[in-house]
Each structure stands twice: as structure tokens, then as C-alpha cells.
Amino acid sequence: MTTNSPCWFTSSHSSNGGDCVEVATNVHGTVPVRDTKDHDAGTLTFRTNSWSTFVQFASQKDTP
């Protein structure tokens, strides 16, 4: 049995101002999220369907 380490990345929309989060891929069934400046502070872990719903909601543009 092999275990892949999470592959962390920040959003391409990040302005590199240091107030970002990193999200990991290749973690089966979950999406770990952590602070880019403090990796040792721990992670929040979301179910993939919950994270997808959050991203969809967050990316919606306000309409009048």
C-alpha cells in the first residue's frame, strides 16, 4: 500500500499578498486546506462535495 503526500497549491487568482490558503489535491474523498504562512498550524479538512459547493458559491458573481 502506498500513500501519496498531498500536492498543495494556491489559487491562480491569489495576488501573492501573503493572506492566502493552500488547498491539496490527490487526497481521496477530502480536501485539506491550510494557511500559506503557517503550515504547522494544522489543516481544515472538507468532504469533496462540500468543498465543491463552497467554491461554486464563492465564484458566483453578484447580479443586480
Whole-structure pTM value: 0.73
pLDDT tens track, the chain, 64 positions: 445 788 999 877 776 666 788 999 887 889 999 998 898 999 999 999 999 999 899 888 665 5
- The C-alpha atoms of residue 5 and residue 25 are separated, in whole angstroms, by 9
Give the pLDDT of residue 59: 82
Give the pLDDT of residue 37: 87
- The C-alpha atoms of residue 54 and residue 44 are separated, in whole angstroms, by 14
Give the pLDDT of residue 1: 42
Give the pLDDT of residue 64: 54
